[in-house]
Chain A
Amino acid sequence: MLLGACFLALLGLGALGATGRAPRWVFLGSAVASAGLGLVGAIGLPATPLPFGPPWGAAQVAVDALAGWFLVILALAAVPACLFAAASPPPPRAEGAGFPLFLAGMALTLIAADGFTLMLGFELMSLASWALVAARHATGAGRRAARLYLAFAAFSGICLIGAVGLLAAGGGLGFAAMRAAPPEGWRAAAVLALVLLGAGSKAGLVPFHVWLPLAHPAAASPVSALMSGAMVKIALYVMIRLLFDLSGAAQPAWWGLPLLGLGVATALIGALRANLERDTKAILACSTLENMGLMVAALGLALAYRGADLLPLASVALAAALLHALNHAAFKTQLFLSLGAVYSLAGSRDPDRLGGLIHRMPWVAGCAILGALSAAALPPLSGFASEWLLLQALIQGFRASDMSVQLIAAASLAVVGMAVGLAAAAMVRLVGLVFLGRPRTPRVAGAPDATGLMRVALVLPTLLTLVLGPLAAVALGVLDGPIRQVLGPQAAAPRFGLELALGEGGSRYLPGLVALLLALVVGGLVLLVRRRSPREPARGPAWDCGFLPPPPHMPFGDPLSQVSALGLGQPIRRSLGGLAIAPREWLVNQPPGSPAAATLRVEGQDRGFTRLLYPLARARRALSREAEQLRGLSLRFYLGLTFGTLVSLLALVALLERG
């Protein structure tokens, strides 16, 4: 009942949004509807056939433990995003219509209990999000990003339809029928490959990640938050549903290795690119790549452990993936909304035009810094718990009897460590450039803080991040249900009371205690400094790093005396950048006699473009040239073509008869 009401409400709101009237109410209503969906997720719903559906049978919906977990994630990301959208100036009409449809598509994917409904929801989600990206850009780079995104969305849809078709070949389109006839042999391998291509390109796995850092920032801030916070999780859900649940428990251990490899590669490349981007939202999108890579790596590990009959370790890895999905949804939504608030209130997404905002926007800055700390996986905050679980699961890789799993887990451990470190560096760079230092432009120096609904939208996910850190074990307790559903009744979430624990005598992490100790240490230090200091604290002028005092026409200091986004990223770009992008640096010299300074220009293109998309485009052009030449052949050549085809077909027939 509640589910149906929420869906009807979302569809009605979509229609209302299309008229362009009362956009604020559209978004507030969407917030209420998504909260209702979250409630449904928490309650659960047995499999129910709907009174309508495709011609061959009724559509089925169900909310089991796994879908419920992701519905809660969706709601937790959607409510702040809707509130933020309601607090923003009225968007274009297409956005008002697309936003509720986007939410409905994601929820439909989650509640689907047959292949058709699943794909319907997935495609609705893809199309609506494309419309949301394209709505803000009639021309230019944003439109190109939207087109690239549409191409990748269509590709992933086709691959997933193929995978669902292969799964349904055994029985029917219903999930129960698919579970009863799991794929085997080449069909299983094809399902794995298609799911990796389809859901992987939606989740931004290498080498299909190139659209994500372009399309996510191109949308409006709440839409970016939803795409990064929720949509990629839907791809993750589809991956779990198809690979873990519907393909059956008897799949071999090597199934996990492609996921593990692609996941850690994505994590490394995403973290690297996050250090190189010049757009605040693109930095966050690249960080999304990194986190998705970690989650997919954890999934791969869970598959590998399940195949090796190591159920406790499989549940550790799966719990890492699911818990990180929740944590990432919380802090990434919050970061996107914070930086969206910076964009709308301080007017820029370029770190070189921001700076010093911690003084002007204490609320936004405080929320963003907490979110960034969580994204950098610092201990008492939420991001640490899930990444700790993932690293523990990787460390235990030696328990698998298969040598290849052991070696790949060890190598992945190193790469994941590097990616996590790079992600922390990226967050330092983001916070340092945007919120610390001095303002770089007058607009930034006069920016107001977020107020009212916008502040609520920022504080909600921040609270969630804060609460999820110390209480990670409680969230893991909820995770028992999904883990049992996916891995079998013997599995359980890796926790022990309020601790995260790898079984008896294994490593343990007590997040509440760590938070308490840290709070004690910090509080003690503050008290000590206050008490021991003989004088009141006083503010002095900022050190100008040895530069000359700025000229009087630059009241905010010489911009050259503050580090720029490219400058801060340079060491990593020079040392590691070649892994992720094809960087080009060149010096623009001024003509002789000019007193202006020479400038250093830096451009980088993702390796995905240079290695995958450009060769593909070249191959397409070459093919079309060849096809064009076919039109200009002589009569005898046409006859010869026909003749050659006939003869080779006959030869094929002869060969087949022989064999």
Chain B
Amino acid sequence: MGFGDTSYDVAHVLGGGMLLISFVLLYQRRIFALVNALALQGVVLALAAAWQGHVQGAPQLYITAVIALAAKGVLIPIYLRRLVMQLPPARRAEPASGIGASMIAGFLLVGLSILVVLPATAGARALAREDLAIALSVVLLGLLMMVTRRTALAQIAGLMTLENGLVLAAVGVAGMPLVVELSTAGLVLVIAVIAGVFARVLHERFDSLDTSVLDPHRGEGT
């Protein structure tokens, strides 16, 4: 399996699409667009999982795909959109921060993950190797997003991306048990709900989504 082989190419395109959307997430300042991109990434993830299920002949991956589509492509974005709708328009975008620098950092991270994964998995199938490299890039980009963004919703989006990367890595490897994927999916739902509640409370109490407003209040009881 290599270049020119349909199964490899399609998987590669889907993974590359996820990586591309990660970069979109990295620089997108408007929160609506951010949620949309997140939903798109969820859909691409579902497609990738389904394609892997088709290629590997593993029916449980279809279940993964359905869960990803339902949770990440539909439910969480709808929930987040409703959250954003409650915000005043001025809060629906985040103050500009160094986009160019974070893009360059993202490039470097992708290079790093390819440098790490490709030599480490010299014996594995080409598909798994590329998949792992892309998945690691997505994870690192999600982390980078959590570090560089200031608002709570953007940080949640970073966490989601990170999780998407993990699931992508999981579906690319043959023989991953279904229960692991189910539990990660459940975990992500719970995280999304908690983070949403947190963002709402943050907004109501401090009239801001910037998590740094919490810093002076550390150690205080409720």
Contact = CB atoms under 8 A, between A and B. Distances in A.
B112 A636 contact: no
Contact of A640 (B112, B115, B147): B147
Nearest to B119: A657
A658 B115 CA distance: 9
A273 B147 CA distance: 58
B214 interface: yes
A658 B119 CA distance: 8
A650 B113 contact: yes
B220 interface: no
B112 A635 contact: no
Contacts of B112: 647, 650-651, 654
A653 B143 contact: no
B5 interface: no
Interface string B189-216: 0000000000000000000000110110
B116 A657 contact: yes
A640 B150 CA distance: 12
B109 interface: yes
A634 B215 contact: yes
B146 interface: yes
B140 interface: yes
B147 A639 contact: yes
Contact of A646 (B115, B143, B211): B143
17 contacts: A636-B147, A643-B143, A643-B144, A643-B146, A643-B147, A646-B140, A646-B143, A647-B112, A650-B112, A650-B113, A651-B112, A654-B116, A654-B119, A657-B115, A657-B116, A657-B119, A657-B120
Given A634-B212, A658-B119, 18 more contacts: A634-B215, A635-B212, A635-B215, A636-B150, A636-B212, A639-B143, A639-B147, A643-B144, A643-B146, A647-B109, A647-B140, A650-B113, A650-B116, A651-B112, A654-B116, A654-B119, A657-B115, A658-B115
Contacts of B120: 653, 657
Nearest to A650: B116
Interface string B108-128: 010011011001100000000
Interface size class of B (residues with CB under 8 A): 10 to 19
Nearest to B146: A639
Central interface residue in B116, B140, B211, by most chain A CB within 10 Å? B116
B197 to A, nearest CB: 17
Contacts of B116: 650, 653-654, 657
Interface string A627-639: 0000000111001
Contacts of A651: 112
Contacts of B146: 639, 643
Contacts of B113: 650
Contacts of A654: 112, 115-116, 119
B6 to A, nearest CB: 31
Interface in B132-170: 140, 143-144, 146-147, 150
A647 B211 CA distance: 24
A653 B116 CA distance: 6
Interface of A: 634-636, 639-640, 642-643, 646-647, 650-651, 653-654, 657-658
Contacts of B147: 636, 639-640, 643
Nearest to B122: A657
Interface string B1-28: 0000000000000000000000000000
Contacts of A658: 115, 119
A634 B113 CA distance: 27
A90 B113 CA distance: 74
Contacts of A650: 112-113, 116
A653 B121 CA distance: 13
Interface in B90-121: 109, 112-113, 115-116, 119-120
Contacts of B144: 643
Contacts of A646: 140, 143
A635 B152 CA distance: 11
A658 B122 CA distance: 13
A171 B145 CA distance: 54
Contacts of B150: 636
Contact of B211 (A636, A653, A657): A636
A654 B120 CA distance: 9
Contacts of B215: 634-635
B104 to A, nearest CB: 14
Contacts of A640: 147
A635 B109 contact: no
A635 B119 contact: no
Contacts of A657: 115-116, 119-120
Nearest to B218: A632
Nearest to B105: A647
B125 to A, nearest CB: 19
Nearest to A641: B147
Nearest to B118: A657
B101 to A, nearest CB: 14
B142 to A, nearest CB: 10
A643 B215 CA distance: 20
B153 to A, nearest CB: 15
Contact of B214 (A635, A639, A647): A635
A642 B142 CA distance: 13
Contacts of A643: 143-144, 146-147
Contacts of A647: 109, 112, 140
A642 B146 CA distance: 11
A634 B211 CA distance: 9
Nearest to A642: B143
B208 to A, nearest CB: 14
Contacts of B140: 646-647
A556 B119 CA distance: 91
A635 B143 contact: no
Central interface residue in B109, B115, B140, by most chain A CB within 10 Å? B115
Nearest to B115: A654
Contacts of A653: 116, 120
Contacts of B211: 635-636
A646 B143 CA distance: 10
A634 B115 CA distance: 31
A634 B214 CA distance: 9
B111 to A, nearest CB: 9
Nearest to B144: A643
B38 to A, nearest CB: 19
A651 B108 CA distance: 11
List 4 A-B pairs, minimum CB-CB distance, nearest first: A657-B119, A654-B115, A640-B147, A634-B215
A654 B147 CA distance: 23
Nearest to B136: A650
A389 to B, nearest CB: 63
Central interface residue in B119, B147, B214, B215, by most chain A CB within 10 Å? B147
B214 to A, nearest CB: 7
Nearest to A634: B215
Nearest to B215: A634
A642 B147 CA distance: 10
Contacts of B212: 634-636
A646 B142 CA distance: 13
Contacts of A635: 211-212, 214-215
A658 B143 CA distance: 25
Central interface residue in A640, A650, A651, by most chain B CB within 10 Å? A650
B107 to A, nearest CB: 13
A646 B147 CA distance: 13
A654 B121 CA distance: 12
A639 B147 CA distance: 6
